[in-house]
Amino acid sequence: MAEDKKYQDASLPLPPDVEESLCRCGGIAGLTGQLPGDDLLKRESALFRALADPLRLKILAMLAVQPLCVCVIKAVLGIADSKLSYHLSVLKKMGLIAGEAQGNWIIYRLTADGTAWTRQVIGDAGSRKNR
Amino acid sequence: MAEDKKYQDASLPLPPDVEESLCRCGGIAGLTGQLPGDDLLKRESALFRALADPLRLKILAMLAVQPLCVCVIKAVLGIADSKLSYHLSVLKKMGLIAGEAQGNWIIYRLTADGTAWTRQVIGDAGSRKNR
DNA sequence: TTTTCATTTCAGATTCTTTTGAAATATCGA
DNA sequence: TCGATATTTCAAAAGAATCTGAAATGAAAA
């Protein structure tokens, strides 16, 4: 709080070409103004965090082939129930998958968002054989 | 090791529609075969991990506007040198940005990969004013 | 109703990531 | 050469994500 600087380049020495183009976009303040808001960045980074795990990507790839119940996913991955449940909850909380109860089972499928992101990751490897 | 099951659906009871479509794609084994390899999944999840932080996304957004030296990035973000350096190193290690020394400064810019991913994140908000 | 089965939840342990402040490096200008 | 400046590196601390096994839930079959 002691010293508020002018948002001009006066205060910090820069390499010439950076200084020039920084001026053209309105200095530090101008640059700052062009950036996405913190809340958007937070949401997007949260999305990426959900995708930042090989097991979860594999689950998405599986569900790109077809909707599946937990027990099949488990059979493919070969991991403990609670571990799988944890990863499913991460994907679900992020809106990438949704589960629908059917009798004793819960059948998970990709949401629209989940489908879009899964394509980003694995191309459409999954849809070759299946459709 | 005690009991190797056949990779057929015989062993696990399933909801009818899952069972049917699972059969059509070759059962557990067929499904497994369609999935991306573990090494690919590992690489891709690592990429997402680099994107899974709001500060790092903001850095990418800044560099989408123009190449910048560390001190400008620091002025915009208002964080400690070492903290910024850490995040830059994460992005650099993942090949999203590259730094080139120029005199006393290091000027970072997006790589081709970095540009592509940054577009995914923020659209091309950055390129409006700048080009 | 009791049992069984598929799945989730929970608490604690573990591991990975991020932050912090101090010290190191390296380049420039005097 | 010296001192200043920009940036990185390091080790320790703090924080967040993940894993584990046991217990809880809730629907269906007996």
**H or E segment and range at residue B75:** helix B70-77
Residues B50-68 have a mean pLDDT of 98
A51 and B CB contact within 8 Å: yes
Question: What's the pLDDT tens digit per position in A82-92?
Answer: 999 999 999 99
Residues A99-110 have a mean pLDDT of 96
A73 and B CB contact within 8 Å: no
CA distances from B3 to A79, B6, B7, B11, B83 (A): 17, 10, 12, 12, 52
Contacts of B21 in chain A (CB under 8 A): 66-67
State the pLDDT confidence band at B56, using cuts at 50, 70 and 90.
very high
Is any atom of strand C within 7 angstroms of residue A55's beta carbon? Answer: no
**pLDDT over 70 percentage in chain B:** 85
Strands A105-110, A68-69: parallel, antiparallel or unpaired by DSSP?
antiparallel
Check whether A31 has a pLDDT greater than 90.
yes
A37 and B CB contact within 8 Å: no
Look at A82-91, A120-129, B94-103 and tell me which has the smallest mean pLDDT. A120-129
Q: Structure pTM? A: 0.90
Q: Is the CB of A25 less than 8 angstroms away from the CB of B102? A: no
Contacts of B33 in chain A (CB under 8 A): none
